[in-house]
Every structure is written in structure tokens, then in C-alpha cells.
Copies of this chain bind each other. A is one copy, B any other.
């Protein structure tokens, strides 16, 4: 009996994980689809007058995804310097930025390593706390788990994707 019920619960959880990850992967594939349509010159342009360029937003999204390795307890981030350039500081910070090619490589490298490590996260592990919430807070707010971080970051990609779409000429 116990096994049957455990399996049932596990199946529910697996379904939740699939729902969240399929939406996450969808936004990444939309982003890659958009990148495939833009020349380097187009990606270097401002998304709107006086707003971030496409290349800055790409670096920003890559750096935020890179932060997931720590938040999900998977290990260290691939490149801490990107955090300084694309998260802690705005585009016009004066900090030297990597080339477009390097930023694209970084985006792809983060995504492929993340996809691989995410696929290895065990079902129950997804419902444990992420590393930015304390054990005490997590007991009061158990929805602040690792899977919730993915929901949040999926929306973050969508947000900037809406802006990046403006790089496509009408």
C-alpha cells in the first residue's frame, strides 16, 4: 500500500516538474529562435531609444541563468565576472564587456550545462529550499523551493524576450 501511494505522489510531482521545465525550455527555445534571426549588428542595437542593447540583455539573461547553479545547489557559477558586468552594473557602467561571440558562447554553455544538471535533479529535491532562503523561512513558506526559482526565472526570460523582440525590424 505504502509503495502505491508513494508512487502516486511521485507521479504528481513529476508532472509538476514537467509543467515547469517545459515552460522554461519553451522560453529558452524562443530566445534561441530570436537570436537565430538577428545579425550581430541588430543584436548590438538598443531595444528601444535609450534602453538596453540586445547584447547586454543576452549577457544579463546568461548571467542570471548562471546564478542558478548556486541557487539550485548544483555548484559554482561558470563565470562570476559576468555577474559584475551584466547584473550588478548597468550597460553604461564603463566595465569592459566580452565580445558578442563570447556572450553567445556563454549563453549556450550555461544553458547546456544547466539542462544537463537539471535533468539529474531528483524529484523530491526540486521541492527542497533554494539556497537563498533560510531553513527557518522555508518552514513557513514551503513554496519557496527550487522548482519555484525556475518558474520565476522563466518569467524573467519572457520579460526580456518581449524587449528583445523589438530588435526585429518591422
A161 to chain B: closest residue by CB: B159
Asked if A162 and B151 sit within 8 Å, CB to CB, the answer is no
Report A17-45 CB contacts with B as 1/0, cut-off 8 Å. 01110110001000000000000000000
Residue tally, chain A, CB below 8 Å to B: 39
Q: Is A94 an interface residue (CB 8 A)?
A: no
Chain B residues near A166: list those with CB within 8 A.
47-48, 51, 163
Contact A12 B15 (CB under 8 A): no
Cα distance A71–B155 in the bound complex, in angstroms: 21
Residues on B with C-beta less than 8 A from A27 are 155
Chain B nearest CB from A76 CB (Å) reads 27
A152 to B23, CA, bound (A): 7
Q: Which residues from B are CB-within-8-Å of A152?
A: 23
**Residues of chain B contacted by A170 (CB below 8 angstroms):** 50-51
On chain B, the residues within 8 Å of A47 by CB distance are 48, 166
Give Cα A79–Cα B106 distance, bound, in whole angstroms.
Answer: 46
How many angstroms between the C-alpha atoms of A25 and B164 in the bound complex?
Answer: 24
* Distance (whole angstroms) from the CB of A159 to the closest CB of chain B: 4
Docked complex Cα distance between A29 and B160 (Å): 18
CB-based nearest B residue for A152: B23
Decide if A65 is an interface residue (CB 8 Å cutoff): no
- In the bound complex, how far is the Cα of B23 from the Cα of A124, in angstroms? 21
Besides A5-B9, A48-B51, 13 new A-B residue pairs in contact (Cβ under 8 A), listed by A number? A9-B12, A15-B142, A15-B143, A16-B16, A19-B143, A19-B148, A23-B148, A151-B151, A154-B155, A156-B158, A158-B158, A158-B162, A159-B162
Give me 25 A-to-B residue pairs in the complex whose CB atoms sit less than 8 angstroms apart, sorted by A's number.
A5-B5, A5-B8, A9-B12, A12-B13, A12-B16, A15-B143, A16-B16, A19-B143, A19-B147, A19-B151, A22-B143, A23-B148, A48-B48, A50-B170, A51-B166, A51-B170, A151-B151, A151-B154, A155-B158, A156-B158, A158-B158, A159-B159, A161-B162, A163-B163, A163-B165
